[in-house]
Chain A
Amino acid sequence: MKRAEYKVPGGKLIAAELGVEGGRLVGVKITGDFFMHPEPAIIELEKAINYTSFEDLEDNVNGFFKDNDVTLFGVEAGDFVKVIKLALEA
């Protein structure tokens, strides 16, 4: 399991825990003290990220926020990509 956390300057903390199997992300878990409305959307976001290749990560995350009516405070869509990339480097 790889893990990284990132404190958004002036915002909230976001962390990612994940594994890698055959070039794909697995077991992705996102945590932090940010706000996401509706809250259970986090589970859908994790599903959208799971089993994606590194190349597709950014498109999948951006696609998720484009397709779903989700409101964020303290983090932005790009911060999810950023913290997952940090975890991959960990």
Chain B
Amino acid sequence: MKETWRLIDMRIEDAPTQMAIDEAIAMARLKEGTPNTVRLYRWNPSAVSIGYFQSIEKEVNLPACEEHGVDVIRRITGGGAVYHDYNGEITYSLVAPEADPKMPADILESYKLICGAIVNGLARLGVDAEFKPVNDIDAGGKKISGNAQTRRHGVILQHGTVLVDSDIRRMFQVLRVSDAKISDKLIQAVEDRVTNLRRYLGRQVNFDEARVALIKGFEDIFDVALEPGELTDAETRLVKELYEKYSSREWVFQR
């Protein structure tokens, strides 16, 4: 019989709740004996998430976010800023113990494996995507997914974005791009570096079609059945506590 992992499917929540859920699942995984979990989710309102080490002032156009009702949050994972467009983006997260036999001990290898589930899902939609170390997935030479991993509490938490039909113009209104990045000759104009499912496939892809493909991608790569489930009571309590952290100015503006 196939191993079963929990699927928490397409919850739509605000930014602090989404980040609190990811961390709560990671905290509860070994302590409470909760199952390995894959989540797919969307952010409402749309939000910018920045990496743990990023400078909020340098990365985010705060007045533009304010103007457009876009939330701003800091993740517990490193990496770059992401615009989570409610109408055009799916985020996934995966939580499994570092000691899980299916998880490589090596961080880069585990990025490759988990991103492989996204690549597999994208292939089902007709997207020829590939993993670009450290943490990107490209399609047709352009980024379609960014990913970030942390290891805490003996657990791997990786989350990432899949661009479905994101408003790329809005994305560059709310994100600031540093001069050093622009002047790096290896980096082309940012607009030319990002794509999404609609642009790549030349057709509208609805969320349901994308989510079904991504679920199958995880099931295939990890050889598991994903069974829809909900947060446990313990996790829900943790989410409430962590919500306070993620919505605090102290956390969001720490760098």
Contact = CB atoms under 8 A, between A and B. Distances in A.
A27 interface: no
A36 B77 CA distance: 9
Contact of B255 (A31, A38, A74): A31
A72 to B, nearest CB: 10
Nearest to A8: B184
B205 interface: no
Interface stretch (A9-17, A18-26, A47-55, A60-68): A9-17
Interface of B: 51-55, 58, 76-81, 107-108, 134-135, 148-152, 178-181, 183-184, 186-187, 255
Nearest to B50: A33
Contacts, number: 69
A54 B55 CA distance: 24
Contacts of B81: 33
A38 B151 CA distance: 7
A73 B133 CA distance: 10
Contact of B108 (A13, A29, A33, A73): A73
**Main DSSP-derived SS at the B contact region:** loop
Contacts of B134: 35, 73-74
A79 interface: no
The residue among A9, A10, A37 with the most chain B CB atoms within 10 A of its own CB is A37
B80 A33 contact: yes
A13 B187 CA distance: 12
Contacts of B107: 37, 71, 73
A36 B180 CA distance: 20
Given A7-B180, A42-B53, A73-B134, A36 B78 contact: yes
B54 A31 contact: yes
Contacts of A32: 53-54
Given A5-B180, A7-B181, A33-B78, A39 B150 contact: yes
Given A7-B178, A35-B134, A39-B150, 20 more contacts: A5-B179, A5-B180, A7-B184, A9-B184, A13-B180, A13-B181, A29-B255, A31-B55, A32-B54, A33-B54, A33-B78, A34-B53, A34-B78, A38-B150, A39-B77, A39-B78, A42-B53, A71-B107, A73-B108, A73-B134
Leading 5 A-B pairs by shortest Cβ distance: A33-B80, A35-B78, A31-B55, A7-B180, A7-B184
Nearest to A33: B80
Contacts of B187: 7
Contacts of B52: 39, 42
A77 to B, nearest CB: 15
Contacts of B255: 29, 31
Interface centre among A12, A32, A33, A37 (most CB of B within 10 A): A33
Given A39-B76, A39-B150, A73-B107, A33 B180 contact: no
B180 A6 contact: yes
Contacts of A6: 180
Nearest to A32: B53
Contacts of A12: 80
A39 B76 CA distance: 8
A39 B44 CA distance: 27
A22 B152 CA distance: 39
